Structure 1
């Protein structure tokens, strides 16, 4: 009887599972910590501006850290880098109730975001390097689905633990520590370190110019995802939906993100990934206009939010698979850093643009901005395909 922890025939699968576990851990902590930190800050300050700026600190940490990760990966083995980052992120998460002041929470949110960026860049680079080309988008679809599922589990944990005590902070820290276990135990091929030239900032920016369709997918997805999940409740409120109705459209969007990623990855693996991105972006540009058209008709909104969130999630899955197709070996680390940097940029600029549009033209300004973001990216990929 073979031992799945030592059988050399399962080595690739062990490494893939270890990397995908990173998505589960980060997703769970995201789902738990985002509402926990935001609501505790609201209680501490009664300032929506402070809450929003603290959330932006996580996006800024992505922009700062992503270009540095390839150099770190060239100096420290990938597994070691992930384990160190998970342990330190866990310690920081548990420190929030110890330093209960607004400046300290900005520092903690930023530094913890830096370590989480390391985990994302290294784990996604790892998957792209060892996934077989014919199954790459499907495997990344599984990765994305696990990340979305983890977010839902984290939100459930938040509902159970609440904001009244500090259990949520300690639970998040413990989850990070537990996440290091599969990285240590599931031994297999390691993430390939980039060479000196492949880890330079020039290589990272060069990756964006060599693969604009792939990197642009991350930028568009970062904006669309952040806008959808942060402002959809405001959109529903301004259309005079009940709290129950707002919850239903949020649940529909989350279900779409869970449902679509593996099928879209499977389709992209069996067709052409650039063609898949063309149609994904086109649908993501049209669906917000359909949401606008149905107004406050809740069943129609639920169906269309399900489609929009699900289809848009394919931008990340298929775009990341295109990175693995376009680059190889250590060069994937620089390309993945550019991908994560683009995602962080989109997540930083999307919400302010959408919020401003909602204030200027009404609630449907959200749908206009989402449609424009997807349409600009669709135009890019259709033009490059012509």
Structure 2
């Protein structure tokens, strides 16, 4: 098959759209991995305040809560492909303003607005994949999407390391990467994401979605909390148990690698068994991993493999949860369900860190592990009850 044939043949239309959607994940992952340390360190230099750095990160999480419920309505007003392109261009433009206006309040506003655009990109691209893939490989392809996102995050971190000390170059590179993400959307022609009808964009519809598919929606909340804790609080945990800086870096690397390696096999298993039961086993393993990590202490030969497995299985909460939504909803309703899922993710990412922080202040390093185990343990109970009583699908 010639390259030209792939770009023109209607038989490959779905594949072209799938590639475009996955490219959105890679682009956002790269900029996310580049911008998190970049913005945090610049803010710390500007203010000398760790609190300001944390609050700025909260602004990004808040943007998810504000904009996610509105995305289905935006999709009904504007063609999803056009909305994706506008969001990527908008995020690029705002990213270039960060070095131009090194003012704390301006950075809060810019971080919030960039987060809004990125939330639009996530909701549309994930809904797009759920709508166009065949049911028998839905979890696997969402696993590819998740792998692209996690891999992009790692690439962004490497770019940050390479450009550290290169002035404002990293900001302009981030903007360029956003703009590059528009190319697959513009030139890989295929079916668009289907927008929901007007009735499905209302707040009651979002609440109804959560009630119909609690196992899937709560997977988003559990993942938002655990992912944020593993990336933001784990370095503090490592320091508190006496690990050196190099070992703390290896902990973060183990977490990142787990998220990359596990998503495809978990998606493959979920497609061939039961997606809801896969979510249940993910949560069970993650709960035990939190406890085992505590008993491993500062023995990195034990701790690093445990963190690798824990982050790897936890990553499945996101992609298998999304695939379960695709199983329960069809057409435009998937966009509404996906917006509800992303909103739940935002709640988890916003509430998780302060909860773990309070727990660590109260009982020391074990506080983080207790919160991690509590989140996934509670999810085990919810899914188990849904399985035993009523035989719900999600």
TM-score (norm: length of structure 2): 0.97
Report the CA distance between 1:200 and its aligned residue. Answer: 1.6
> Which residue of the partner structure matches residue 234 of structure 1?
236
**CA RMSD, Structure 1 to Structure 2 (Å):** 0.8
In structure 2, C-alpha distance between the alignment counterparts of 1:185 and 1:111, rounded to whole Å: 27
Give the SS at the match of 2:201.
Answer: coil
1:38 aligns with 2:40: yes
1:309 counterpart (292, 295, 311):
311
Give the SS at the match of 2:313.
Answer: helix
Give the SS at the match of 1:193.
Answer: coil
Report the CA distance between 1:356 and its aligned residue. Answer: 1.1
2:112 counterpart (110, 113, 137):
110
Report the CA distance between 1:163 and its aligned residue. Answer: 4.8
In structure 1, C-alpha distance between the alignment counterparts of 2:102 and 2:335, rounded to whole Å: 36
> Which residue of the partner structure matches residue 345 of structure 1?
347
In structure 2, C-alpha distance between the alignment counterparts of 1:325 and 1:363, rounded to whole Å: 39
1:88 and 1:115 in contact (8 A); partners too = yes
2:271 counterpart (266, 269, 272):
269
In structure 1, C-alpha distance between the alignment counterparts of 2:166 and 2:109, rounded to whole Å: 23
> Which piece of structure 1 moves more, 201-210 or 324-333?
201-210
Report the CA distance between 1:164 and its aligned residue. Answer: 5.1
In structure 1, C-alpha distance between the alignment counterparts of 2:251 and 2:120, rounded to whole Å: 32
Give the SS at the match of 1:5.
Answer: helix
2:51 counterpart (16, 34, 49):
49
In structure 2, C-alpha distance between the alignment counterparts of 1:317 and 1:382, rounded to whole Å: 20
In structure 2, C-alpha distance between the alignment counterparts of 1:107 and 1:70, rounded to whole Å: 23
Report the CA distance between 1:150 and its aligned residue. Answer: 0.1
In structure 1, C-alpha distance between the alignment counterparts of 2:166 and 2:249, rounded to whole Å: 22
2:22 counterpart (17, 20, 23):
20
In structure 1, C-alpha distance between the alignment counterparts of 2:203 and 2:173, rounded to whole Å: 36
Report the CA distance between 1:93 and its aligned residue. Answer: 0.6
1:130 aligns with 2:132: yes
In structure 2, C-alpha distance between the alignment counterparts of 1:203 and 1:383, rounded to whole Å: 24
Give the SS at the match of 1:187.
Answer: coil
- Aligned residue runs from structure 1 range 291-310, under 5 A: 291-310=293-312
> Which residue of the partner structure matches residue 77 of structure 1?
79
In structure 2, C-alpha distance between the alignment counterparts of 1:29 and 1:315, rounded to whole Å: 23
TM-score (norm: length of structure 1): 0.99
1:198 and 1:331 in contact (8 A); partners too = yes
Output one character per residue of 1:203-258: Cα deviation in whole Å (capped at 9) or x when no partner. 11111010000000000000000001101111111111111111111111111000
1:330 counterpart (324, 329, 332):
332
Q: Report how many aligned residue pairs link the two structures.
A: 386
1:119 counterpart (108, 118, 121):
121
> Which residue of the partner structure matches residue 368 of structure 2?
366
In structure 2, C-alpha distance between the alignment counterparts of 1:194 and 1:368, rounded to whole Å: 40
Structure 2 stretches of 5 or more lacking a match?
A: 389-394
> Which residue of the partner structure matches residue 279 of structure 1?
281
